[in-house]
Structure 1
Amino acid sequence: MDDTPATGLFSLAELRPDTLTGLVRRSAALHRDPRAHDRPLDGRAAGVLFTRTSTRTRTAFTVGALRLGATPVTYGPDDLQLNTGETLTDTGRVLGAMLDLLVARTAGPLADLRALARAGRLPVVNAMAAEEHPTQALADLATLTTAFGDDLTGIRLLYVGEGNNTAVALAHALAAVPGAHATFASPAGYGLPETELKTATRRAGTTGAVIEQIHDLGLAPGHIDVLYTSRWQTTGTRKADPDWRESFRPYHVDRRLLSRWPGAAFMHDLPAHRGDEVAGDVLDGPESLAWTQAAMKLPSAMAVLEWAAPTPH
């Protein structure tokens, strides 16, 4: 893994491919052996700020900090003076004077996390912003190594559903994998943001990967290794079209759809809404890696915390 001191994790598009690969491999190693560390965060204070709901990510970073020796300081949506009008800059300065790093999921955009990092001069880990969910994609790639081996060169993945922050993170992650082929299939108007797609495509051009977007499942590749979906209603968002479910219905993953690609694994970032984006017998079926993905959130959080924590003086 690249050992350049980290200033935080905001977007996977900003990580060098060798850094991203190192984090994925470290996540997988900690999944195999949760004790494969020497408590490198001993004596540190790790802020864990979540103003949006979270089961897996919040638990993973809190437990991960404890296992690495840090003391987590947790904040919910009503705990900070941001609610009474204190600015992000002032809040960041205070947190930076007391914490060694901050893991944050807020209601605001990624720019808010960058502002906290600048003001506090402390590493900030994006635990999901409106634009991207980078730690999810790290856990996803680590999960893929359990099924396909450490070398993911040439992996072929089809993502179906909304081009949300999970999809954005996957696009940036797979763009860094040599020869990867990622197809994102979404209803028209619900795809990956154009700027994110362009950024991922540019990186893919340097690694031999392919990142593409379609709005018709009839155009999906004939061979894939993985079929991936996510909930249709992204956390904290609403859709303007009252009939949006009709647009998404063709993207429902059931046995019939999965049978188009015999032997393909199934992935879901959870939480799942059985009957919407996925049928229960697929989510809980033999092809499903969803529960490995969920378990992988903890070792991936530990890998990110190790990497992001500043070197003690």
Structure 2
Amino acid sequence: MRHFLTLADFSKEEILEILILAKTLKNEVKSGIYSNPLAHKTLGMIFEKNSTRTRVSFETGIYQLGGNGIFLSSNDTQLGRGEPIKDTARVLSSMVDLVMMRTHEHSRLEEFSAYSNVPVINGLSDDFHPMQLLADFMTMQECGKDKNPIVAYIGDGNNMAHSWLMLAAKLGFTLRIASPKNYEVSQKILQKAESFAKISGAKILLSENPQEAILGADVVTTDTWASMGQEEQKETRKKAFQDYCVDSKLMKLAKQDAIFLHCLPAYRGQEVSEEVLESAQSKIFQEAENRLHAQKGVMVWLHQNR
């Protein structure tokens, strides 16, 4: 049985296989075809962090696949009252066919999956957001930006930066990350990515200079400067990241046909300007829709590979 906690657990071939499945499922829905590969299956969705896109895309996704989704917030489960994760995992996995968990510490996902009898999917943790990266690369494929691309990530060395590291290291493309001092990616995660990069041929560049990172890039991406749980750091981070806004001036350093991606929600005028967000280069809404289809691909793939 396989879980989907981080892209580090998957080979290049498996990642591309999931994306082919996601594209097939997307094309079917666009043609009005519903093959129902997960008919009568139930997805348990544990939300310890709030969400818009993750909840809607998973609920819609399992429904389109012929199954049902159960939404469980911290207020709805005994986890919120201190029940051990291993107990919740064993009970819940005896009643559902898949579990999606959106949580804080990545270790909570690892513990849950260790005791689960069904596949567990990472809907987001403090360390990784692999589902978003599948949607991002699916968008890159649709825009013709998937062949040896140069990707520039401008901003916080957070779960999105970590996930870009894993995707680049597994698929073998060039990734440049520009972050201010004291907001760099985790050294432990970087070392793991670099070990994969030696096999795939990926090129990873870390810098404090956003102009250096974005120069000649095919894909430009960023994320909010203060993630959930960091609200008290908002003003401090705003000062640290003031030179890291992806605006039209910075975008001009990328290739003329470069695309812009953002996992959303976006804070206009902070990590990205209104002009860039609303430009023809911006593919953020195509990217957001692809969360639905990429997640369907993962759910079906996990079910098929139990």
Fold similarity call, TM over 0.5? yes
Task: Give the CA deviation at 1:54.
Answer: 0.7
Counterpart-to-counterpart distance in 2, 1:247 and 1:94:
45
The CA RMSD over aligned residues, in Å, is 1.8
Equivalent residue, structure 2, for 1:219: 212
Counterpart-to-counterpart distance in 1, 2:116 and 2:9:
20
| More deviation, 219-228/200-209 | 219-228
Counterpart-to-counterpart distance in 1, 2:189 and 2:45:
27
Counterpart-to-counterpart distance in 2, 1:157 and 1:285:
18
Aligned match for 1:9, one of 4, 12, 31 = 4
Alpha carbons 1:28, 1:143 under 8 Å: kept: no
Q: 1:89 to 1:190 in 2, by over 3 A?
A: same
Aligned match for 2:99, one of 84, 92, 102 = 102
Matched, 1:71 2:64: no
Counterpart-to-counterpart distance in 2, 1:311 and 1:157:
31
Task: Give the CA deviation at 1:38.
Answer: 2.1
Counterpart-to-counterpart distance in 2, 1:205 and 1:23:
23
Q: Deviations along 1:91-126, whole A, 9 cap, x unmatched?
A: 11110111111011023x122112222223221000
Task: Give the CA deviation at 1:176.
Answer: 1.8
Alpha carbons 2:214, 2:253 under 8 Å: kept: no
Counterpart-to-counterpart distance in 1, 2:9 and 2:56:
25
Matched, 1:278 2:272: yes
Matched, 1:174 2:174: no
| Correspondences of 1:110-121 after superposition (within 5 Å) | 110-121=106-117
Equivalent residue, structure 1, for 2:287: 293
Equivalent residue, structure 2, for 1:59: 56
Q: 1:73 to 1:153 in 2, by over 3 A?
A: same
Matched, 1:33 2:28: yes
Equivalent residue, structure 1, for 2:186: 193
Q: Report the TM-score when normalising by structure 2.
A: 0.93
Q: How many pairs does the alignment contain?
A: 303
Alpha carbons 2:44, 2:100 under 8 Å: kept: yes
Counterpart-to-counterpart distance in 1, 2:163 and 2:182:
19
Equivalent residue, structure 2, for 1:92: 89
Letter of the aligned partner of 1:93 in structure 2? R
Matched, 1:23 2:18: yes
Counterpart-to-counterpart distance in 2, 1:255 and 1:218:
12
Letter of the aligned partner of 1:132 in structure 2? F
Equivalent residue, structure 2, for 1:153: 147
Equivalent residue, structure 1, for 2:244: 251
Equivalent residue, structure 2, for 1:3: none
Letter of the aligned partner of 2:27 in structure 1? R
Counterpart-to-counterpart distance in 2, 1:226 and 1:116:
35
Task: Give the CA deviation at 1:308.
Answer: 1.7
Equivalent residue, structure 1, for 2:227: 234
Counterpart-to-counterpart distance in 2, 1:204 and 1:196:
12
Equivalent residue, structure 1, for 2:132: 136
Alpha carbons 2:25, 2:293 under 8 Å: kept: yes
Q: Which sections of structure 1, spanning at least 5 residues, go unmatched?
A: 1-5
Counterpart-to-counterpart distance in 2, 1:136 and 1:36:
25
Alpha carbons 1:29, 1:36 under 8 Å: kept: no
| More deviation, 67-76/115-124 | 115-124
Q: Which sections of structure 2, spanning at least 5 residues, go unmatched?
A: none
Q: Deviations along 1:251-299, whole A, 9 cap, x unmatched?
A: 1011111111232211111000001111111111100011111010100
